[in-house]
Amino acid sequence: MQWSLLRPVGLVPAALVLTTIAASAEGGKSAGPSEFLLVAQIVLLIAVGRGLGELMQRIGQPSVIGELLAGIILGPSLFGWIWPEAQHAIFPKTPEQKAMIDGIAQFGILLLLLLTGMETDLKLVRKVGRAAIAISIAGILVPFACGFALGEFLPDALLPDPQARLVASLFMGTALSISSVKIVAVVVREMNFMRRNVGQIIVATAVIDDTIGWIIIAVIFSLASHGTLDFGSVAKAVLGTLAFLAVSFTIGRRLVFQLIRWANDNLVSAAAVITVILLLMSVMAMITHLIGVHTVLGAFVAGILVGESPILTRQIDERLRGLISSFFMPVFFGLAGLSADLSVLRDPNLLMLTGLLVVIASVGKFGGAFVGGTVGGLNARESLALASGMNARGSTEVIIATIGLSIGVLSQNLFTMIVTMAILTTMAMPPMLRAALAKLPMNQEERERLEREEFERRGFIANLERPLLAVDDSVNATFAAHVAGLIAGMRGLPITVLHIGERAKEKDKGEDESHEAVVKKAAETVSASGDGNAGSVDVVTRARRAELAETIADEARKGFDLLVVGIDKVAAAKDRFNRKIEDIAAEFEGPLAIVAAKGKHLKQPIPDALNILVPVSGSGISKRGAEVAVALAQAGSGSLRVIYVATTRDKGAQRGTSRGLSQETGILKDTSDLAARYEVDITTTLRVNRAPEAAILREIDTTDVDLVVMGVDRIEANHLSFGGVAAAVLRQSKASVLLVSSGEAQRPPAEKA
């Protein structure tokens, strides 16, 4: 039965061995490293690793477990035990051949740390920082002490250099104390606990564990390279690491953002941003190597800085994740599995030591995290969930063990024991954490916070990354710059000001009157209750260098997700927009915000406050308009009035009925709830049996509003159109108008007979 199951496993290696023999026959025994063997190794590791990773995910385990098992199956533990000749032929131990795939794996380590850094949410750490730091310190100290003690009592036979036991003990302490933030985050996200209080603390603690662990590993690497406890070299490594981190998170943060934006906006080659990120990662890795610590720290910090870049994070993450997950992860973790020879565990002494290692690692981390959770203010159930999550080592442990093996701190047997411990603790964590999280109740305060965050996550403003402001030299452009500055200032978004007038620059305006200055001044007035970056925006200026349509098309490809337009003479005759606006809209497929300054804003385009009116109808696009209006009211410290108007689609069915009235009041309540989330006071008005445009214009005439914000759909037509209601309001309103459009054109609604 055993052979019938194992025989199919050997079919692919057998075919490859035969082909390898045939291919190398011409070269004879003197042949050097084989490219064919390299490709065959990669094919096997990817195919088996990804296949087993898929199987692991289907049974609720992380895919990295499957990739590790693939290496174990293809290595001496199984394949080499069943058919050693074939295994040695495909994975020879000759230094030249091994160096080829090891080089790929070593670069894979850097990419894995880059991705881990990109997934590190420092905002989350800041949010629950005090509790997470206290928990993390306790969760590191206890298992570190256990691991260090274990290293001191390990038999000399398990150490590659018994004279350097101190380094090995420090390495063991670090290996047992670190957790895998990737595995923890996957399970917490799967259980929908990522935004729960305990979920945030678990992930934040894992992030801190990871960060501290990589710093310690970097210092231990410096210690190992000198062989003895040289306080001078250790001090140099520690001070160099602190200086590197200080520069990275101050000057480096802005430099990385500027590099990403420059590459995206100026380079025309494919995947230019990815190229810049890879170069940045490599340079930072080399810098950490030069200061005497391991390259993984540079790659990890580079990932954090890239992840914190305020633009293009989703696109970068998707492209890099695909390459790393499909190629580098199965190769690296497969090679780690190949290096772990589980057949040595047939030795009862080694098996017993491995079991002891698993117990010490689990009890130390579990106990330390549980005590830390209790000290940090968590109850028993929350501390249990925290301890369950922290016990997973996963990919992080394997990377650390691989580094230890490569620098000679770990022996082959000790490496196998640590990889075994990583597999067992990682496989035990998901069911334990799921069981612990399932028993945690939710209090009212947490429920309200989750509802607010879920709403904001789906919102339009909350998902903006990069607005573009297109302006000429008119008064309307100044008012549009003020509005754009308020929007960008809410979350500290970088904004690009594109001058599309006949003059490339505003030569007649002083520095304090420029559109860039208006944007920055508006952003600075934003309430501090917004995002942590509220009030601070990065402004870049661009001048029109070609025809208007060509200029907009060139900018549109750079990833802007909102275009704010402020030019003179917005409307033309016969309910048509100015030709310039139509040209702009034709080349920009995303959402538009078209600004038309009227009334007092023609004399005071930079108002102290905005008194806003927003019509709502319950449609998705009117909700977008309401969200923008609420955000502007909060940012601009003004008032907000909400009026319900029946649209073409619903006014005939709803007018005069109790069902319609109930729906109308419900829509107004939804908008009131939205305003309450932003802590904005509103006044609501219900207008029935009146055409939408008449109701809106009547409200403008009878109140003190000075800005109307309307969410509008693009209507399919031979010219730019947002429908008759928007056209009438734009033409007849005495107050300024802001039209916030959808990205795609909609078919006009069918009129009822």
Structural domain boundaries of the chain?
Answer: 94-438, 446-591, 608-753
Q: Say which residue, 392 or 644, is predicted with more confidence.
A: 644
**CB within 8 Å of 658: residues ≥ 6 apart:** none
* Mean pLDDT across 588-608: 90
Q: Which tens digits make up the pLDDT trace of 19-42?
A: 444 344 434 444 567 788 888 889
Q: Say which residue, 525 or 700, is predicted with more confidence.
A: 700
Q: Do 94-438 and 608-753 have matching folds?
A: no
Q: Is residue 207 over pLDDT 80?
A: no
Point out the least confidently predicted range of 80-94, 166-180, 388-402, 576-590.
Answer: 388-402
Alpha helical stretches, state H, 270-339? 272-290, 295-307, 313-323, 329-339
Query: What is the dihedral sign for C-alpha 594, 596, 600, 602?
Result: positive
| Superfamily, domain 608-753 | HUPs (3.40.50.620)
Q: Is residue 738 over pLDDT 60?
A: yes
Q: Say which residue, 673 or 6, is predicted with more confidence.
A: 673
Q: Which amino acid is at 664?
A: E
Q: Is residue 585 over pLDDT 50?
A: yes
382 touches 440 (CB < 8 A): yes
Q: Is residue 723 over pLDDT 80?
A: yes
- Closest listed residue to residue 167, CA positions, set 104, 233, 70: 233
Q: Is residue 313 very low, low, confident or very high in pLDDT (cuts 50, 70, 90)?
A: low
Q: Is residue 648 over pLDDT 60?
A: no
Point out the least confidently predicted range of 166-170, 219-223, 342-346, 433-437.
Answer: 219-223
Q: Is residue 388 over pLDDT 60?
A: yes
Please give the Cα distance from 552 to 600 (Å, whole number). 30
Q: Is residue 650 over pLDDT 70?
A: no
300 touches 284 (CB < 8 A): no
Q: Say which residue, 745 or 15, is predicted with more confidence.
A: 745
Q: Which SS3 state, helix, strand or coil, does residue 740 take? A: strand
Q: Say which residue, 226 or 150, is predicted with more confidence.
A: 150
Say what the pLDDT of residue 15 is. Answer: 40
Q: In 10 A of CB 731, how many CB atoms? A: 14
Please give the Cα distance from 435 to 431 (Å, whole number). 6
First to last CA, the chain: 76
Point out the least confidently predicted range of 151-160, 251-260, 587-596, 739-748.
Answer: 739-748
**CB within 8 Å of 13: residues ≥ 6 apart:** 44, 74, 79, 83, 86, 87, 90
CATH architecture of the domain 94-438 equals Up-down Bundle (1.20)
Say what the pLDDT of residue 532 is. Answer: 52
Say what the pLDDT of residue 377 is. Answer: 77
The widest CA-to-CA distance across the chain, in whole angstroms, is 96
Q: Is residue 477 over pLDDT 50?
A: yes
Say what the pLDDT of residue 248 is. Answer: 92
Say what the pLDDT of residue 181 is. Answer: 65
497 touches 539 (CB < 8 A): yes
Point out the least confidently predicted range of 100-114, 387-401, 506-520, 623-637.
Answer: 506-520
* Mean pLDDT across 111-120: 80
In this structure, whether the domain defined by 446-591 belongs to CATH 3.40.50.10710 is answered with no
Say what the pLDDT of residue 7 is. Answer: 40
Say what the pLDDT of residue 457 is. Answer: 67
* Mean pLDDT across 578-590: 88
Alpha helical stretches, state H, 492-643? 515-524, 548-556, 579-587, 620-636
Say what the pLDDT of residue 546 is. Answer: 80
Please give the Cα distance from 552 to 29 (Å, whole number). 63
Say what the pLDDT of residue 735 is. Answer: 93
Q: Which SS3 state, helix, strand or coil, does residue 496 take? A: strand
Q: Say which residue, 237 or 596, is predicted with more confidence.
A: 596
Q: Which SS3 state, helix, strand or coil, does residue 29 take? A: coil
* Neighbour-count burial of 620, counting CB atoms closer than 10 A to its CB (0-12 exposed, 13-18 middle, 19+ buried): exposed
How is residue 130 written in tokens? 């005090």
Please give the Cα distance from 163 to 499 (Å, whole number). 69
Please give the Cα distance from 327 to 115 (Å, whole number). 14
Quick one: what percent of the chain has pLDDT higher than 90? Answer: 11
Q: Say which residue, 528 or 518, is predicted with more confidence.
A: 518
How is residue 605 written in tokens? 């385009």
195 touches 204 (CB < 8 A): no
User: Which one-letter DSSP state was computed for residue 577?
Assistant: B
Point out the least confidently predicted range of 41-55, 348-362, 413-427, 483-497.
Answer: 413-427
Say what the pLDDT of residue 61 is. Answer: 79
Please give the Cα distance from 209 to 176 (Å, whole number). 11
Please give the Cα distance from 256 to 246 (Å, whole number). 14
Point out the least confidently predicted range of 347-361, 552-566, 610-624, 644-658.
Answer: 644-658
Q: Is residue 595 over pLDDT 90?
A: yes
* Mean pLDDT across 274-293: 88
User: Which one-letter DSSP state was computed for residue 34?
Assistant: -
How is residue 598 written in tokens? 């009227």
Point out the least confidently predicted range of 268-272, 371-375, 463-467, 507-511.
Answer: 507-511
| 562-566 and 682-686 beta bridge pairing | unpaired
